[in-house]
Structures are given as structure tokens and as C-alpha cells.
Amino acid sequence: MKNTIVLAALAAAALTAHAQPARPAIKFGMIADFSSVHADTVGKGSATAIEMAIEDFGGTVLGRRVVLLTADHQNKPEVGANAARQWIDVEKIDAFVETQSSSVALAVHDLARKANTINVMVSPGSSDLTGKLCAANSVHWTWDSYMAVNGVVRPLVEKGLKSWYYIVPDAAFGRATVDDAKRILALYGATFAGSSATATGSADFSSPLLQAQASKAQVVVIGGGGQDASNAIKQAAEFGVSPAQQLAGVVVSTTEINAVGLATSKGLMVAETFYWDLNDQTRAWSKRYEAKTGRLPNQMNAGVYGATTHLLKSIQAAGTTKTEDVMKKMRELPIVDLATKNAKLRPDGRVERDVFLFQVKTPAESKGPADMYKLVATIPGDKAFRSMADGDCPLVKK
């Protein structure tokens, strides 16, 4: 009788265990441009990089499957905000792993802060995200407008190039870039010669380029990215702005350089946190990425891979998806990714890492289509990014 009772109890337990539903998936979200001017720079390419990070981690964490949700914001903040709201309220998303475009990122940033949802941002550039708008639940992973401006300004001013003109998007990122440029140029005793704001998706940069030319500035900075940057670089060559005036980029990447070619973009200066040909590790990962996408990765693609990997490690170390516990681990764990070995996550949400100053090669210097950059300098993170003392982040004690 006792054996019968024991067997019945074991059978019931087995049936109950078998009937238990699978543990819910951990949900990551990516909101980006999948169909417009930035689709080639971020879009599907960055979604693939995130999926690679999840696969390389084994596809699960804490015994739960990890899934990626994606949404096309169509370069409209309200569209991105609606997707974020749906994911927070209905999907119960665990973390955002990318929100491309500063105007969209600022809208999502506020929603994520109010919901206390982990918010990792890779490609938006506004430095306000770790400045006056910083939040305890957010991480700005790769670059920002301050770094992109400072990383180029400092070495070129030291070479005697002291007057600068900026062509920027008429959006939150463009305004942040101009504000950062004015402060940084004044810091180094250089001159802000003026700026022009352009509509996202514009095919005609003749007016701002002619204004830049008329300003006699020694350096003309292309502040947009994606197809906007490609169009501006092409037309700068057509109007003779370059090479007469030194051309520099803020968010120009190898994707845009590849699109316009070295003959057109040669000599352009840009500060980035990744290049596919930096070392054996970047080359090996880039070949894997190229096999999946048909193209080499840029700093945004590599950035989301590193950010997603660090987030997964932090969730595993925390033993939970609770925001406060995961954020604590994100700050405690060493940040070691493809191109950076000594990064750290600061209290204001800024990941402070080494920055590389590159110059686009001439066709004669290049060994092939993929050989686009020559390394000019490596800038330590504490010299490249704005200091916390200067950022006005309310989380940072004065």
C-alpha cells in the first residue's frame, strides 16, 4: 500500500512537472531605421549583430530563451515612442538594446526611465543622454556628439586648423553637435565659423556646402550619417569644397566611405570606436559578420554586438532581469569587447572607452576595397569623452 501511494505521488509529480509551461522568454528590443537614410548603417545590419551576440551566448540566459523584437521608426519620434510604449506595456520587454536616431532615442529614453526598463543605446549621438537627461537605467554604449567632435577637433587644431564650419541634421543630434562644437572649439582656442542645418533625407547639399565654402573655414564637418553623409561627401568633392578645405565627419562610418569610394572621400577625418581591421579579433569577427550580411561591419554594428554581450553577461551574473541588479553588474563587470579592453560604465551612463582617430586612405594607399582607414591616433577614453563634472547629470555628485 505504501509503495502504491509513493508511486502515485511520483507519477502525479511527474505529470505536474511535465504540464508546467516553459519559462517566458527574455525580450530585447531594437528600434531603428530599417527603410530610409540610415537603414544601411544600422537597420538589418545591427539586428544581425545583436542576433549573433545572442547566438554566441548560447541563445539563453538564466534558463530562458532570449528573443529580439525589432521596429522601424521611419525617422519619426512618435512612431518609435509608440513601439516602445507597446513593448513596455504589453510585451513586458526586459531591455532595449538599441534605439537609433537621437530624436527617437530621447523619446524612448523618457519612456524607459519612467518604466524603469533597462535602456542600452548604441547609435544615437546626443550627449544630452548622459548629461542633463541622464538616467540610472540607461547606458550610452559607443559614441556621442561630444566624443565625435572632440576626437577630431583636438588633433586638427594642434596641426593649425583653427576655423570650423558644421553641416548638421536639423534634429536633436544636430543641435547637440553644434553645442558641443562651440564649447570644444572655444576650449582649444579655435573658431566656430558657422553652421547649416539640413533636413534628414535631403539629396541636395549645395546650399550648406556653398555657405561652408564662403565661410573660408579650414575644416568643414559633415554632421549627418547614412545616405545624408554619402550625398554630402560626394557633393563636397563636386563643388571643390574638398580637398581645398579639410573634410571631417561626425557620424560618418565605413559604410558611407564604401558607398562613395576612396577617390571621393580620401583625406576625410573621423573619430570612431571600431574598425574591422584593427586587430586579429576585429578581423575574425568581421569575417563572420560579412558572411552573414555580405558587408563589413561599422562601429554601430560592432557596438550592438558588444553591448548585447555585456548585457547578457550582466543578467547572468545578477541572476535576475531586475533593472537595479542588472545595472549594478553592468557597472561592476569589466567591459571587454572587440576593439576595447579597458572600458568602464560611469554613473552617468556613459561607457568611457578608447577612441580611434582615422583618416580615409587615398586609392593609392589602399590595398583593396575593404582597406579604407589608416589609424592616426588612439585617444584614451578620459580624454575623448566629456567629463562627468561638465555633463550636468543629476546622478553625479558635485
Using CA atoms, how far apart are residues 288 and 297, in angstroms rounded to an integer? 10
Q: What is the pLDDT of residue 398?
A: 61
Check whether domain 146-272+354-384 has CATH 3.40.50.300, yes or no: no
Q: What pLDDT is recorded for position 172? A: 85
- The fold for domain 1-143+274-353 equals Rossmann fold (3.40.50)
pLDDT of residue 1: 42
Q: Which residues have C-beta within 8 Å of that of residue 307, sequence separation ≥ 6?
A: 97, 98, 120, 122, 139, 141, 142
Convert 249-279 to b/e letters by CB count within 10 Å (16 or more is b).
Answer: bbbbbbbbbbbbbbebbbebbbbbbbbbbbe
pLDDT at position 123 is: 94
Give pLDDT tens digits along the chain (398 positions): 444 444 444 444 444 444 456 789 999 999 999 998 888 889 999 999 999 999 999 999 999 999 999 999 998 999 999 999 999 999 999 999 999 999 999 999 999 999 999 999 999 999 999 999 999 999 999 999 999 999 999 899 999 999 999 999 998 888 989 999 999 999 999 999 999 999 988 889 999 999 999 999 999 999 888 889 999 999 999 999 999 999 999 989 999 999 999 999 999 999 999 999 999 999 999 999 999 999 999 999 999 999 999 999 999 999 999 999 999 999 999 999 998 888 999 999 999 999 999 999 999 999 999 999 999 999 999 999 999 999 999 999 76
Contacts of 385 (CB under 8 A, 6+ apart): 144, 146, 147, 150, 350, 352, 355
Return residue ranges of the chain for CATH 3.40.50.2300.
1-143+274-353, 146-272+354-384
Question: What is the Cα–Cα distance from 369 to 356, expressed in whole angstroms?
Answer: 21
Beta bridge partners of residue 231, listed in sequence order = none
- pTM for this model (two decimals): 0.90
Summarize pLDDT for 23-54 with one digit per residue, the tens. Answer: 899 999 999 999 988 888 899 999 999 999 99
Pairing of the two strands 246-249 and 26-32: unpaired
pLDDT reported for residue 17: 43
For position 38, what pLDDT does the model report? 81
The DSSP string of 95-127 is EEEEE-SHHHHHHHHHHHHHHT-EEEESS---G
